[in-house]
Amino acid sequence: MPYGIKSKITTRQEDSVSMAADSFDGRTRRLADGNRIPVLGLGVWQVPDGRECVNAVLWALELGYRHIDTAQAYGNEASVGEALRRSGIPREQVFITTKFLPSRRNAATEIAGSLKRLGVEYVDLYLVHWPSGGPSRAWPAMEQAHRLGHTHSIGVSNFGITELGDVMASATVPPVVDQVDLSPFTYRRSLLNEGRARNVEFEAYSPLGTGRHLSDGTVNRIASRIGRTAAQVLLRWALQHDLIVLPKSTHRPRIEENAQIFDFVLSPSEMSELDGLDRTSGTGVALERKWR
Ligand code: A2P
């Protein structure tokens, strides 16, 4: 079942529905460079290349997802590409993200390998996976990949306020996305506020805490009160904070469950209860540990 459910529409949802009227799935946001991005995507971090990954992506596409998030470092771009082809869905209807592995030298060279493994002529979004070797080191080559049309948009991942500022200072084409570990438990308010002031959209990876947050008492109390699952509550929290959300699952029923987040609304008090779970003290930092 596609996730274009339109019941119980609030004023805010009406806005997003009308804004997305010209888009392919009705659930997209416009990035600062004018490109549209679906607000729900399937993440495939830690999904082994091969049948498991092909199936997960194929199921997601069958169930209405139009956004898949992979990376050079995940080692499963070939499976994502295979699922895309097997789905029969036209390339231009699916938003594909991959990420430059920053231990490699040149992002413009590396993207050629990613495109080959994916079997596509371009990706929709290409991210610097983490700020290795200095936040702006990879950026000129990212801009080159963009100029050559190998990617429609460019951005970063795991960049905090300081690193974002560093890239912005030298960029000709600024990053439009920062993909970060975000959830009620890792609600980096300062990073979100400052990034948004610079026209950066945020994507939430590990929105379920790689599964850890699903057993939290507060999350489960809210879930049973409103007749939803813990996963749906966490994902809905992300949507209501205007995040692009990238849950990972390799199980078809869960992939389906995770897409059913457009037909209910968390109340302001439920949102603030969830906000209160933050353990980052609203930090502007993207990650608690250092990158190698
Ligand atoms: P699995 O892939 O076996 O379905 P995150 O998105 O934060 O990285 O979390 C991913 C983890 O949460 C995976 O271990 C995944 O397991 C599990 N998961 C994803 N969706 C659900 C769900 N709806 N219910 C329970 N567990 C889920």
What percent of the chain is modeled with pLDDT above 90? 87
Question: Ligand 1 pocket, 231 CB below 6 A?
Answer: yes
Whether the pLDDT of residue 241 is over 80: the answer is: yes
Q: What was the pLDDT predicted at 292?
A: 56
Confidence at 95, pLDDT banded by 50, 70, 90 = very high
Question: Ligand 1 pocket, 23 CB below 6 A?
Answer: no
Which one-letter amino acid corresponds to residue 53? C
Residues sharing a CB contact under 8 Å with residue 80, sequence separation 6 or more, in sequence order:
44, 53, 57, 68, 70, 96, 118
Q: pTM here?
A: 0.92
Q: What was the pLDDT predicted at 115?
A: 98
Whether the pLDDT of residue 4 is over 80: the answer is: no
Atom of ligand 1 nearest to the CA of 247: 6
If one residue of 47, 186, 206, 248 were mutated to test the ligand 1 pocket, choosing by the most ligand atoms within 8 A of its CB, it would be 248
Atom of ligand 1 nearest to the CA of 47: 2
Cα–Cα distance list, 109 to 79, 106, 116, 126, 275 (Å) = 21, 5, 12, 13, 41
User: Up-side HSE of residue 54: CA atoms within 13 Å toward CB?
Assistant: 11
Q: What was the pLDDT predicted at 288?
A: 81
Encode pLDDT of 253-290 as tens digits. Answer: 999 999 999 999 999 999 999 999 999 999 999 988 77
Residue nearest to ligand 1 atom 9, measured at CA: 210
pLDDT greater at residue 167 or residue 5: 167
Question: Ligand 1 pocket, 214 CB below 6 A?
Answer: yes
Question: Ligand 1 pocket, 75 CB below 6 A?
Answer: no
Encode pLDDT of 133-159 as tens digits. Answer: 889 999 999 999 999 999 999 999 999
Active site residues: 74
Q: Give the chain's domains with CATH numbers.
A: 11-275 (3.20.20.100)
Query: What CA–CA distance (Å, rounded) separates 202 from 239?
Result: 11
Sheet holding 42-43, edge to edge: 42-43, 67-69, 95-100, 123-128, 151-157, 177-181, 201-205, 244-245
Residue with tokens 């596509």: 120
Closest CA to 248 of 183, 169, 168: 183
Query: Quick check: 47 and 74 in contact, CB under 8 A?
Result: yes
Encode pLDDT of 175-226 as tens digits. Answer: 999 999 999 999 999 999 999 999 999 999 999 999 999 999 999 999 999 9
User: Up-side HSE of residue 165: CA atoms within 13 Å toward CB?
Assistant: 7
Query: What CA–CA distance (Å, rounded) separates 190 from 108?
Result: 31
